[in-house]
Amino acid sequence: MQIETILFDLDGTLIDTNELIIASFTHTLEQFSDKSYTREEIMDFIGPPLVDSLKKIDPNRIEEMMEAYRVHNYANHEKYVKAYPTVVDTMIALKEAGFKLGIVTTKLNHAAQLGLELSGMKNIFDSLIGLDDVTHAKPHPEPILTAMGELKANPMTTLMVGDNYHDIEAGHNAGVKTAGVAWTIKGREVLEAHDPDFMLEEMSDLLQIVGVK
């Protein structure tokens, strides 16, 4: 299969921010909710845009909650954020092999930039599409289509890699190939139910799929 462009989700796919996200939601919920949430319930908030998750808690205090969440999240990035195994070496190998690489995330652009910097991938990607760069978030195809527009990519030779069903659905909606990651906090069976073209056991599996080794 010929692939020339590879787009990646960020959190839960390239960098492990799960504990950071859970800690930031916990911090926010303690301030704004009378209900006690389990870890499993908080994990359900991971993936969609922050505003959509917080809307379920209290639709009348979304701005306050977003501010509390983001202050905690940014302040603790360095404490939690790291790349998943084989990710950095794989990204370097793909870049050296001439692939066009992009990030498509539901994070704000500058927060995504911070995550890339802390995980040692600051200058690897040719495009970064954050939540503030589009009108519609994944699973709408707009973020992927926007990234492909920046990269002058052909959907027939583009692959979207992600840890959430939103990523796989967005890929289907944009007409590109898709790959799920087996290390998703959601459980691989959630991704497999959405029929990705590939399932990566570790990121380096991607090299063989696209013919780098």
Share of the chain above pLDDT 70, in %: 100
Question: Which of 26, 54, 79 is at the close of a domain?
Answer: 79
Asked if pLDDT for residue 1 goes beyond 90, the answer is no
User: Whole-model pTM?
Assistant: 0.91
Q: Are residues 12 and 27 in the same domain?
A: no
- CATH code of the domain containing 188: 3.40.50.1000
pLDDT of residue 135: 97
pLDDT of residue 24: 96
- CATH code of the domain containing 26: 1.10.150
Asked if pLDDT for residue 57 goes beyond 80, the answer is yes
pLDDT digit string (tens) for 77-131? 989 999 999 999 999 999 999 999 999 999 999 999 999 999 999 999 999 999 9
What the block records as the tokens of 41 is 């319930």
Q: How many domains does the chain have?
A: 2
Length of the chain: 213
pLDDT of residue 48: 86
Question: 180 near 168, Cβ under 8 Å?
Answer: yes
pLDDT digit string (tens) for 154-208? 999 999 999 999 999 999 999 999 999 999 998 899 999 999 999 999 999 999 9
pLDDT of residue 186: 85
Q: Are residues 170 and 182 in the same domain?
A: yes
Q: Are residues 69 and 138 in the same domain?
A: no
Q: Are residues 132 and 64 in the same domain?
A: no
Q: Are residues 47 and 149 in the same domain?
A: no
Question: 32 near 58, Cβ under 8 Å?
Answer: yes
Q: How many CA atoms lie within 13 A of 5 on its CB side?
A: 24
pLDDT of residue 199: 98
Q: Are residues 72 and 86 in the same domain?
A: no
Q: Are residues 36 and 65 in the same domain?
A: yes
pLDDT digit string (tens) for 6-30? 999 999 999 999 999 999 999 999 9
What the block records as the tokens of 110 is 């500058």
Q: Are residues 111 and 173 in the same domain?
A: yes
Q: Are residues 55 and 157 in the same domain?
A: no
Q: Are residues 119 and 129 in the same domain?
A: yes
Q: Are residues 44 and 87 in the same domain?
A: no
Domain span including residue 50: 18-79
Question: 179 near 90, Cβ under 8 Å?
Answer: no
Q: Are residues 26 and 105 in the same domain?
A: no
Residues with catalytic function: 9
Question: Which of 29, 53, 79 is at the close of a domain?
Answer: 79
